[in-house]
Amino acid sequence: MTTSHVSHILELPLFLDRNANEPLHRQLVTQLREAILQGSISAGTRLPSTRSLALLLHVSRTVTIAAYDELFAEGYIEGRHGSGTYVVEDLSLLKRSPFPSPAGPPRWLRSVEPLLLPRPVVPREAINFRPGTPDMQFFPERTWRELWRQLGHAVPPNAYGEPAGLLELRVEVAAYLGRARGIACQAEDIIITSGATQAVNLIVQATLVPGDTVALEEPGYPLARYAFRASGLHIVPIPVDDDGLDVSQLTNGEAAPYLVYVTPSHQYPLGSRLSSVRRVALLQWAEANDSLVIEDDYDGEFRFHAPPLPALASMDRAGRVVYIGTFSKVLMPGLRVGYLVATAPLRERIARLKRVLDYHVTWPTQYMLAAMLRDGHLERHIRRMRLHYAEKRRQLAEIFAPVASWARLCGLEAGMHVSLALHPALDAYEIAREASARDVYVPTLDEYYTGTPDRNGLLLGYGALDAQQICTGAQTLVELINEHI
Amino acid sequence: MTTSHVSHILELPLFLDRNANEPLHRQLVTQLREAILQGSISAGTRLPSTRSLALLLHVSRTVTIAAYDELFAEGYIEGRHGSGTYVVEDLSLLKRSPFPSPAGPPRWLRSVEPLLLPRPVVPREAINFRPGTPDMQFFPERTWRELWRQLGHAVPPNAYGEPAGLLELRVEVAAYLGRARGIACQAEDIIITSGATQAVNLIVQATLVPGDTVALEEPGYPLARYAFRASGLHIVPIPVDDDGLDVSQLTNGEAAPYLVYVTPSHQYPLGSRLSSVRRVALLQWAEANDSLVIEDDYDGEFRFHAPPLPALASMDRAGRVVYIGTFSKVLMPGLRVGYLVATAPLRERIARLKRVLDYHVTWPTQYMLAAMLRDGHLERHIRRMRLHYAEKRRQLAEIFAPVASWARLCGLEAGMHVSLALHPALDAYEIAREASARDVYVPTLDEYYTGTPDRNGLLLGYGALDAQQICTGAQTLVELINEHI
């Protein structure tokens, strides 16, 4: 460790100006003192010998000796017999200067503040019903470790990768989408992204300009709304009912939105599904108005008793649908990998944009996911998780059954969250507030609206909760409902 | 494998509409036929038994038997004695329908086409002098594998990470920047990004609005230029000489650019360094005009005989500098991890924006880099690479020495590339063209200009080339120069 400390300080930028009026040893003292004060050289660090520092700085040894003498006199450094010079251990008197901040609002903070998503700080022990997090308890740890071990022997690539993503992974994703979602695409149709959120942002940036109109489900996915807002787009909220987006409310002709964002498999947040009739109507509308449809299939893998409907993208014959998927819900949120399937010329444009924005998704993660898909590991995991999530949903339904006339679980049997419609006499916000006081965190539906909410309800993300947490959390809510009726 | 094929097809979305006029078995035939034609079910796949398919679809077995009979008659499927029903192996007669594309330019492709960086397709065997790729030949493979093995035992996180990045990694980066670059920052001042490019994009999006003026080194980093253009900014190119950016050419007052992008340690592409005097002048200019300075220290770790100068960020007392670093040059380009150091309120704004854009950098990579930094592995690697790059640069200098009056290596001894100033009588473009015919790829300096080039030269990225390649490549260029004088 001592050697490493010595060499660390050799990395410190010390610059002696031979033309300055200040003597060289004084310049050295000032810079070393500042480095110690700022914490760039930490307490107890071994300094290089006066000889090696002199060699390094191309100065005579008298300069470094004079500098060390002065620092010694000032109490910054100390000598240990036979083992060199060290920064003193007790720097408690010296205050580290904070990283500077401009005084007042700077002129260059010109853009609109990116919106802060409402996200309360939830204590670790609390039961948190916020949706979006999968269950890692059943994470395929053995498979993951084995693949991880194998990848450790791979030679890392010697260059930047493809902006569109690793070919091996794109091949596997295309095959997976063919098998699982009926989308007949090839590796070349796919772009690997760092999640569904980046996919939405890439699509928007590759196509629209500020002021353009886009349609969003109401209620809908907040991150899509923020992405649209951050790009200066005009959002038209379109109501959702038990059959998904009310396609008939999309305007036509000149006023038709350029883009519609939908979650057909499992509407976010209400949990309904876009009906077959509306799927056909949406595709016809898109073709008639030459508009683009983003199909976000964020947790479409998880449906329990409902038979699957074909993905919109698989029904699209006019190249108007761009399909988004993610590995965050089916494997691990911290991986940050998703994908999109787009027709040319959109995908070419997105690949170019991605190169300029962040180049490509990190190499090891792409390899790991390709391996997870290749031998069916991911699909086996999905099938297992489907059973677990179905059981959790069943459990929730059972607990809320006694108060069914006051609180009704909505949406089809799918996904990792469910919405709970409350009787108009109940105040969702008040129930959430009181639940929070009992360490049960539950978001209210109104967070998911662009405009004025037309529903009174709560959202119950059960993905990451275990049976005990679901039971305790849901029963707390049932008690609160009983107290309020 | 057979079992896995069977279950794969169960994933296929098959939807039978009981209210339709078309009989159920016909609906099933149509959907299976389409899936086979489109390749969603591939040749040779084993289909589920008529019994299990009937159970799955909640139909009577007569429906599935009728459907299979019909597909059998049409030649799509075949039975193998005692082992079930398979899609025929020879589907050569059936053409897979291509993924659809809209006819003509779609209405929704509104935004300006992201600029395509000039990047020729270079054959694998060719010698490619394009800068920006590090030498992976000396990659610390053993250390990497050992850390990788250790990480394989870590339990993956159960949730999304911090948008600003993993705390462990930010702590290590802050300590590293203190030791290596004299920047006294804390973990909280740092945001982990997917590389320097994303850092530039985040800063621009968090601060400026379209039409704002920014200053860029001329010649300068193309990806910064594209990032500014993609955000609709107005670029003012500022000339560079042997002392780096000519700070005196920055306008003041109302007309002062909101942001200046500089590469002080090793100007990209010319290789000069921003002098001490100009560093002070740039900071004074930024404070007087309340402008923001992006300090991109992309390969500042590699300097050979030149003594280090303090980072601009370490001299900044007014919170006007945002510092950018990357692991792409010091470790591996495919990792896609970098960082920025910014003062509040900029870093808070960037963290919020990052959450909406792509959330955070992938978990495994952040962990790996934290481990690489923690025990000094990365810094040991950097010191080793410094020797290798210095030797490569020395080699280049030796080869070009005989033609010094016609081709002069520019910039200080640093980095992984060098610029080669050519005598005005030589045509850089013509030399690059002829070199390419001899399988030596070398970019011309004019690619790096926003406006009209004021220099005639080539760029020689030697990072990823070995001694033999450098020798052959440089000698080819010397031969060409001799042929042209």
Using CB atoms, which residue from B149, B159, B335 is nearest to A152?
Answer: B149
pLDDT band at B154 (very low <50, low <70, confident <90, very high): confident
What is the chain A residue with the closest CA to B293?
A108
User: With helix as H, strand as E and coil as C, how does chain A read?
Assistant: CHHHHHHHHHCCCCCCCCCCCCCHHHHHHHHHHHHHHHCCCCCCCEECCHHHHHHHHCCCHHHHHHHHHHHHHCCCEEEECCCEEEECCCCCCCCCCCCCCCCCCCCCCCCCCCCCCCCCCCCCCCEECCCCCCCCCCCCHHHHHHHHHHHCCCCCCCCCCCCCCCHHHHHHHHHHHHHHHCCCCCHHHEEEECCHHHHHHHHHHHHCCCCCEEEEEECCCHHHHHHHHHCCCEEEEEEEECCEECHHHCCCHHHCCCEEEECCCCCCCCCCCCCHHHHHHHHHHHHHHCCEEEEECCCCCCECCCCCCCCHHHHCCCCCEEEEEECCCCCCHHHCCEEEECCCCHHHHHHHHHHHHCCCCCHHHHHHHHHHHHCCHHHHHHHHHHHHHHHHHHHHHHHHHHHCCCEEEECCCECCEEEEEECCCCCHHHHHHHHHHCCEECCEHHHHCCCCCCCCEEEEECCCCCHHHHHHHHHHHHHHHHHHC
Rounded CA gap, A32 and B431, in Å?
Answer: 49
| Cβ–Cβ gap B99/A184 under 8 Å | yes
Identify all chain B residues contacting A101, using CB atoms and an 8 Å cutoff: 319, 343-345
The residue ranking higher by pLDDT, B3 or B19, is: B19
Do A359 and A256 share a structural domain? yes
Do A353 and A281 share a structural domain? yes
Identify all chain A residues contacting B205, using CB atoms and an 8 Å cutoff: 111, 230
Three-state secondary-structure class, residue B272: coil
| Cβ–Cβ gap B362/A363 under 8 Å | no
Do A324 and A239 share a structural domain? yes
| Cβ–Cβ gap A40/B208 under 8 Å | no
- pLDDT, residue B305, reads 81
Look at residue A110 and tell me if it is in a domain: no
What is the chain B residue with the closest CA to A305?
B56
- pLDDT, residue B115, reads 63
Does any CB of chain A come closer than 8 Å to the CB of residue B153? Answer: yes
Query: How far is the alpha carbon of B390 from chain A, nearest alpha carbon, in Å?
Result: 16
Identify all chain B residues contacting A364, using CB atoms and an 8 Å cutoff: 335, 364-365, 368
Residue with tokens 């896995």: B4
Give pLDDT tens digits for B371-422.
999 988 999 999 999 999 999 999 999 999 999 999 999 988 899 999 999 9
Do A221 and A79 share a structural domain? no
Q: Are B279 and B309 in contact (CB under 8 A)?
A: yes
Rounded CA gap, A477 and A431, in Å?
Answer: 8
Identify all chain B residues contacting A290, using CB atoms and an 8 Å cutoff: 102, 106-108
Do B390 and B342 share a structural domain? no
- pLDDT, residue B15, reads 78
Of B87, B117, B151, which residue sits at a domain end? Answer: B87
Look at residue B461 and tell me if it is in a domain: yes
What strand order describes the sheet that includes B213-218?
B190-193, B338-341, B321-326, B292-296, B259-262, B213-218, B234-241, B244-245
Does any CB of chain A come closer than 8 Å to the CB of residue B236? Answer: no
Identify all chain A residues contacting B114, using CB atoms and an 8 Å cutoff: 206, 349, 352-353, 356
The tally of CA atoms less than 13 A away on the side-chain side of residue A217 is 31
Residue with tokens 């006029």: B21
Q: Are B204 and B216 in contact (CB under 8 A)?
A: no
* Low-confidence spans in chain A with pLDDT less than 50: 1-7, 93-96
Of B87, B117, B149, which residue sits at a domain end? Answer: B87
- pLDDT, residue A230, reads 84
Do B267 and B200 share a structural domain? yes
- Alpha helical stretches, state H, B153-305: 167-181, 196-207, 222-230, 276-289
Using CB atoms, which residue from A109, A178, A226 is nearest to B345?
Answer: A109
What is the chain B residue with the closest CA to A145?
B152
Query: What backbone torsions phi and psi does residue A390 show, to the nearest 5 degrees?
Result: -60, -40
Q: Per mean pLDDT, which of A237-241, B148-152, B172-176 is the most reliable? A: A237-241
As given in the structure block, the two tokens for residue A308 are 């699957």
As given in the structure block, the two tokens for residue A447 are 């967070």
- pLDDT, residue A389, reads 95
| Cβ–Cβ gap B332/A259 under 8 Å | no
Q: Judge whether residue B436 has pLDDT over 90.
A: yes
Rounded CA gap, A358 and A335, in Å?
Answer: 16
Look at residue A13 and tell me if it is in a domain: yes
Do B253 and B274 share a structural domain? yes
Do A230 and A331 share a structural domain? yes
Look at residue B392 and tell me if it is in a domain: yes
Does any CB of chain B come closer than 8 Å to the CB of residue A101? Answer: yes
> Residue A275: which CATH number?
3.40.640.10
Do A463 and A370 share a structural domain? no
As given in the structure block, the two tokens for residue A23 are 């003597």
Which B residues in the span 109-138 are in contact with A, Cβ-Cβ below 8 Å? 109-111, 113-117, 132-133, 136
Q: Judge whether residue B1 has pLDDT over 50.
A: no
Count Cβ neighbours within 10 Å for each residue of A293-310 and write b for 16 or more, e otherwise. bbbbbbbbbbbeeeebbb
Nearest to B462 by CA among B397, B405, B406: B397
Look at residue A399 and tell me if it is in a domain: yes
Q: CA separation (Å) from A331 to A252, A327, A389, A432, B8? A: 40, 6, 14, 29, 18
| Cβ–Cβ gap A357/B198 under 8 Å | yes
The tally of CA atoms less than 13 A away on the side-chain side of residue A432 is 21
Do A319 and A392 share a structural domain? no
Q: Are A257 and A291 in contact (CB under 8 A)?
A: yes
Q: Judge whether residue B211 has pLDDT over 60.
A: yes
Does any CB of chain B come closer than 8 Å to the CB of residue A145? Answer: yes
| Cβ–Cβ gap A159/B334 under 8 Å | yes
Identify all chain B residues contacting A333, using CB atoms and an 8 Å cutoff: 157, 159-160
First-to-last CA distance in chain A? Answer: 67
Q: Judge whether residue B45 has pLDDT over 70.
A: yes
Q: Count up the domains in chain B and report the number.
A: 3
Do B278 and B150 share a structural domain? yes
> Residue A68: which CATH number?
1.10.10.10
Q: How many CB atoms lie within 10 A of CB A404?
A: 10
Identify all chain A residues contacting B319, using CB atoms and an 8 Å cutoff: 99-102, 106
As given in the structure block, the two tokens for residue A257 are 């939105």
Rounded CA gap, A42 and A64, in Å?
Answer: 20
Average pLDDT over residues B167-177: 92
| Cβ–Cβ gap A230/B205 under 8 Å | yes
- pLDDT, residue A7, reads 43
- pLDDT, residue A155, reads 77
Does any CB of chain A come closer than 8 Å to the CB of residue B199? Answer: no
Q: Enumerate residues 6+ apart whose C-beta is below 8 A from B58.
A: A307
Residue with tokens 């607990």: A399
As given in the structure block, the two tokens for residue B369 are 């880099």
Query: How far is the alpha carbon of A234 from chain B, nearest alpha carbon, in Å?
Result: 14
Nearest to A229 by CA among B59, B205, B407: B205
The residue ranking higher by pLDDT, B333 or A72, is: B333
Q: Are A38 and B178 in contact (CB under 8 A)?
A: yes
Q: CA separation (Å) from B224 to A134, A264, A397, A470, B449? A: 37, 38, 53, 49, 12
Using CB atoms, which residue from B14, B189, B209 is nearest to A111?
Answer: B209
Checking DSSP bridges between strand A457-461 and strand A190-193, what pairing results, if any?
Answer: unpaired
Q: Judge whether residue B323 has pLDDT over 90.
A: yes
Three-state secondary-structure class, residue B483: helix
The DSSP symbol for B301 reads: T
Rounded CA gap, B134 and A238, in Å?
Answer: 50
Q: Judge whether residue B4 has pLDDT over 50.
A: no
- pLDDT, residue A119, reads 63
Average pLDDT over residues B22-40: 82
Do B239 and B163 share a structural domain? yes
Rounded CA gap, B472 and A431, in Å?
Answer: 75
pLDDT band at B18 (very low <50, low <70, confident <90, very high): confident
Does any CB of chain B come closer than 8 Å to the CB of residue A367? Answer: no
Query: What backbone torsions phi and psi does residue B220 show, to the nearest 5 degrees?
Result: -150, -175
Look at residue B116 and tell me if it is in a domain: no
- pLDDT, residue B91, reads 64
Q: Which uninterrupted H or E stretch holds B381?
A: helix B377-400
Which A residues in the span 286-345 are in contact with B, Cβ-Cβ below 8 Å? 289-292, 307-311, 314, 316-320, 328, 332-337, 341, 343-345
| Cβ–Cβ gap B40/A189 under 8 Å | no
Q: Judge whether residue B116 has pLDDT over 70.
A: no
> Which one of B45, B357, B366, B367 makes the best mutation probe of the A interface by having the most chain A beta carbons within 10 Å?
B357
Give pLDDT tens digits for B253-284.
999 999 999 999 999 999 999 998 999 999 99
Q: Judge whether residue B100 has pLDDT over 80.
A: no
- pLDDT, residue A3, reads 34
| Cβ–Cβ gap A210/B210 under 8 Å | yes
Query: How far is the alpha carbon of B483 from chain A, nearest alpha carbon, in Å?
Result: 33
Three-state secondary-structure class, residue B36: helix
Rounded CA gap, A180 and A313, in Å?
Answer: 13
Of A354, A376, A398, which residue sits at a domain end? Answer: A376
Quote the domain boundaries for residue B308: 141-379
Look at residue B115 and tell me if it is in a domain: no
Look at residue A97 and tell me if it is in a domain: no
Give pLDDT tens digits for A175-228.
899 888 888 888 999 999 999 999 999 999 999 998 999 999 999 999 999 899
- pLDDT, residue B445, reads 95
